[in-house]
Amino acid sequence: MAHRVLVSDPISEIGVALLNDHPDIEADFNTGLSPEELIAIIGDYEGLVVRSQTKVTPEVLAAAKSLKVIGRAGVGVDNIDKEAANQHGVIVMNTPTGNTISTAEHAFTLMLSAARNIAPGHASVLAGEFAAGRKANQGIELNGKRLAVIGMGRIGTEFVKRAQAFNMTVVAFDPYLTQSRADELKVELADTPDAALTGADVVTLHVPLTDDTKGIINAERLALMNKGALVVNCARGGLVDEAALKAAIDSGHIAGCGLDVFENEPPAADHPLLSLNKFVAFTPHLGASTAEAQENVGIQVAEQVRDFLATGEIRNAINMPSLDAAAREAIGPYLDLSASLGKLLAKLGLSNPDALRVSYHGPFAKKDTALISRTVLTNFLESSRCDGQVNIVNAPGIAAQMGLELVESTINAQTEYNELLVVELRKGEERFRLAGTLIGSSPRIVEIDRLYVDTNIRGHFLIVRNDDRPGIVGAVGTTLGNEKVNIANLSLARNKTQGNALTVIEVDEPLSPEIMAQVRAIPGVTLGTGVSL
Ligand SMILES: NC(=O)c1ccc[n+]([C@@H]2O[C@H](COP(=O)([O-])OP(=O)(O)OC[C@H]3O[C@@H](n4cnc5c(N)ncnc54)[C@H](O)[C@@H]3O)[C@@H](O)[C@H]2O)c1
Ligand SMILES: O=C(O)[C@H](O)COP(=O)(O)O
């Protein structure tokens, strides 16, 4: 059956066509839906493509029973409830690079427009007030002015290049900007927003809206700027305290602003900032609205959603490690191994464990261990809970809710294998562990609770723990033979000092409860488990 994708905001036609051109994808383009309309239909879709208009709320996600992926044709994902997406196991992807240049150019345009009164000047010409408009709209030069940039990511960096061409000096605040990168970009590095704003003539914002950045430009920080300064926001409404900005402009300390975004969009007609008539430029969230940016993000989002649904390839996910096709192929056998170890752990291991420890011995450490550990956890939870609601996105959240800690470690000590993946359940002082490796490119399970075996990772298995004395394995074989169960493989291990043994028998078909009861009744069998991996 085709994977159905709903495109609920306008993206480029080429993007929609890219989805529909794939034989396994069926895309519906249905924009302008009310929240109720979206909730009514979202259950039919595995993919959802949005820009910023569609609000993907917890209610939408609760109704999205088949949804696997949300693709955002753009950068900001604040219209998508990430907590709820994680909880429901939905991957959220954005297209981080497609609109960078357009947005930087737009922010720069807002700065120039505010500085040179383009909007009020234009209005005066249209109103037939040429001479009055000329008199009222003297501007400010940017040459030699001090620019504060909050957020030196993709857009911030592009803005700075343009500002330097205008001979502005730049100071930047970004907690992730290193001194060497600041030197390379020829910007002064501020260690606080206050330090960046002190003595600045213009501030421009290029950060996401988060709990940390909400209201980052407030009354106190505006007061640190030079008299006559400008505020430019082409990132997100909510970063600037709009009431504080209006008060600072009214007081004459701040000259004006260039805003593409507002705390509430659209802003109310009587929004206090809209009454400004000097050093002002407003646009209706147009930062990414160019033909080029829309084509870029439309194509990128369509390709990402298509590839994820068709092949499982993950690109630009904000709630999952990325996995391109080549990496996926390289890591595939390790993911298969970790899935089987997770499932087997659920069948054989401790009940209600406190922790799941995944340790990597050998060159494993150079692989994407986060994804391998998540795969162990997901399969462990899936097989323990049997409610079909666990997947690779929501597994860490579910584990945390259950009080199960996922611990990862890299161990340098040599083992007899080149690489060894050990998964261990812990409950107080109790431990239960399994280990696996790759022999050539073939994943094998090589240890069950400190007993050394060598077995496949896929198939139907009978796992027997028994006293280490003659006749028991024979009796198990006879029981299977009598029931016409064919044995494909057999692996034996024993602990001489403890006097017990472990037998892993691979069989051609799943074992019925009746056969399992017969096996468990054999004298000397202490534990018998039938497992399909
Ligand atoms: N107006 C529009 O149409 C439009 C278009 C595209 C993007 N945007 C907005 O612009 C923002 C920036 O986009 P980008 O592509 O440059 O993103 P980006 O991820 O490349 O850059 C964001 C930068 O913000 C920094 N940052 C995070 N928290 C910070 C904090 N507390 N203080 C200072 N810096 C902090 C990060 O380290 C990063 O360098 C996005 O969040 C998006 O919401 C708006
Ligand atoms: O975060 C973004 O990419 C911009 O805000 C663009 O949003 P839009 O796709 O709704 O124009």
The enclosing domain of 532 has a CATH number of 3.30.70.260
Is the shortest distance between the CB of 153 and ligand 2 below 6 Å? no
Residues 112 and 198 in one domain: yes
Domain residues for the domain of 375 are: 322-457
Residues 141 and 268 in one domain: yes
- Cα(319) to ligand 1 centroid in Å equals 17
69-97 pLDDT, tens digit each: 999 999 999 999 998 998 888 999 999 99
Residue type, position 489, single letter: N
End-to-end Cα spacing for the chain: 25
- Pick from 392, 426, 457: which residue ends a domain? 457
- Cα(369) to ligand 1 centroid in Å equals 28
Atom of ligand 2 nearest to the CA of 289: 11
What residue ranges line ligand 1, CB within 6 angstroms? 74-76, 96, 99-100, 103, 150-156, 173-176, 206-208, 212-213, 234-236, 260-261, 285, 287-288
Atom of ligand 2 nearest to the CA of 236: 5
Region 260-265: mean pLDDT is: 97
Tell me which of 78, 106, 155 to substitute to probe ligand 1's pocket, judged by most ligand atoms within 8 Å of the beta carbon.
155
Cα distance between residue 91 and residue 314, in whole Å? 9
161-204 pLDDT, tens digit each: 999 999 999 999 998 888 999 999 999 999 999 999 999 999 99
Atom of ligand 2 nearest to the CA of 77: 1
Is the shortest distance between the CB of 215 and ligand 2 below 6 Å? no
The answer to whether residues 436 and 477 touch, using CB atoms and an 8 Å cutoff, is no
| Shortest-distance ligand to the CA of residue 100 | 1
Residues 34 and 89 in one domain: yes
208-226 pLDDT, tens digit each: 998 899 999 999 999 999 9
Atom of ligand 1 nearest to the CA of 76: 43
Active site residue 292: no
Give the residue among 42, 84, 87 at the shortest CA–CA distance from 65.
42
- Cα(102) to ligand 1 centroid in Å equals 14
Residue 100's φ and ψ, nearest 5 degrees, are -55, -55
- Cα(287) to ligand 2 centroid in Å equals 7
Domain CATH code at residue 393: 3.30.1330.90
**Helices then strands, each counted (H, E), the chain:** 18, 22
Residues 201 and 112 in one domain: yes
pLDDT category of residue 299 using cuts at 50, 70 and 90: very high
Length of the chain: 533
31-43 pLDDT, tens digit each: 999 999 999 999 9
Strands 69-72 and 91-94: parallel
- Cα(151) to ligand 1 centroid in Å equals 6
Is the shortest distance between the CB of 254 and ligand 2 below 6 Å? no
Residues 329 and 441 in one domain: yes
pLDDT category of residue 387 using cuts at 50, 70 and 90: low
| Helix, strand, coil percentages, rounded to 5, for the chain | 40, 25, 35
Percent of the chain with pLDDT over 70: 99
Residues 61 and 130 in one domain: no
| Shortest-distance ligand to the CA of residue 194 | 1
Cα distance between residue 466 and residue 523, in whole Å? 9
Cα distance between residue 456 and residue 506, in whole Å? 8
Ligand 2, atom 5, lies closest to the CA of 76
Question: DSSP alpha helices (H): ranges in 137-288?
Answer: 154-165, 179-185, 193-197, 219-224, 242-250
Region 415-426: mean pLDDT is: 91
Active site residue 236: yes
| Token pair listed for 13 | 């036609």
Exactly one of 13, 265, 329, 509 is catalytic; name it.
265
Cα distance between residue 156 and residue 100, in whole Å? 9
Percent of the chain with pLDDT over 90: 82
Residue 388 confidence (pLDDT) above 70: no
Residues 402 and 436 in one domain: yes
Residues 427 and 356 in one domain: yes
327 versus 188: the higher-pLDDT residue is 188
The Cβ of residue 474 has, within 10 Å, a number of other Cβ atoms equal to 10
Residues 88 and 224 in one domain: no
pLDDT category of residue 47 using cuts at 50, 70 and 90: very high
Ramachandran area for residue 499 (φ above 0: left; ψ -120 to 50: alpha; else beta): left
Residue 287 domain-assigned (yes or no): no
Residue 437 domain-assigned (yes or no): yes
| Token pair listed for 476 | 């198990």
Is the shortest distance between the CB of 287 and ligand 2 below 6 Å? yes
So what's the pLDDT on residue 329?
A: 80
- Pick from 457, 491, 508: which residue ends a domain? 457
| Shortest-distance ligand to the CA of residue 289 | 2
| Token pair listed for 30 | 């249905």
Residue 362 domain-assigned (yes or no): yes
Residues 94 and 109 in one domain: no
Residue 365 domain-assigned (yes or no): yes
Give the residue among 211, 173, 208 at the shortest CA–CA distance from 194.
173
Cα distance between residue 488 and residue 484, in whole Å? 13
Residues 329 and 433 in one domain: yes
Residue 323 confidence (pLDDT) above 90: no
| Token pair listed for 511 | 């074992």
Q: What is the ipTM of this complex?
A: 0.99
Exactly one of 88, 285, 361, 374 is catalytic; name it.
285
Give the residue among 399, 439, 401 at the shortest CA–CA distance from 418.
439
Residue 513 confidence (pLDDT) above 80: yes
| Token pair listed for 184 | 């390379």
Ligand 1, atom 41, lies closest to the CA of 208
The answer to whether residues 36 and 13 touch, using CB atoms and an 8 Å cutoff, is no
Q: How many domains, the chain?
A: 4
Residue 527 domain-assigned (yes or no): yes
Region 411-440: mean pLDDT is: 90
Tell me which of 206, 261, 292, 294 to substitute to probe ligand 1's pocket, judged by most ligand atoms within 8 Å of the beta carbon.
206
Residue 316 domain-assigned (yes or no): no
Ligand 1, atom 32, lies closest to the CA of 174
Residue 288 domain-assigned (yes or no): no
So what's the pLDDT on residue 389?
A: 73
Residues 218 and 332 in one domain: no
Cα distance between residue 343 and residue 242, in whole Å? 53
The answer to whether residues 462 and 476 touch, using CB atoms and an 8 Å cutoff, is yes
Name the pTM for this structure. 0.80
Residue 342 domain-assigned (yes or no): yes
Is the shortest distance between the CB of 52 and ligand 2 below 6 Å? yes
Region 284-294: mean pLDDT is: 98
Residue 386 confidence (pLDDT) above 60: no
pLDDT category of residue 328 using cuts at 50, 70 and 90: confident
The answer to whether residues 27 and 16 touch, using CB atoms and an 8 Å cutoff, is yes
- Pick from 457, 486, 510: which residue ends a domain? 457
So what's the pLDDT on residue 161?
A: 98
| Token pair listed for 59 | 């209610």
Is the shortest distance between the CB of 209 and ligand 2 below 6 Å? no
Active site residue 265: yes
Domain CATH code at residue 201: 3.40.50.720
Region 9-24: mean pLDDT is: 95
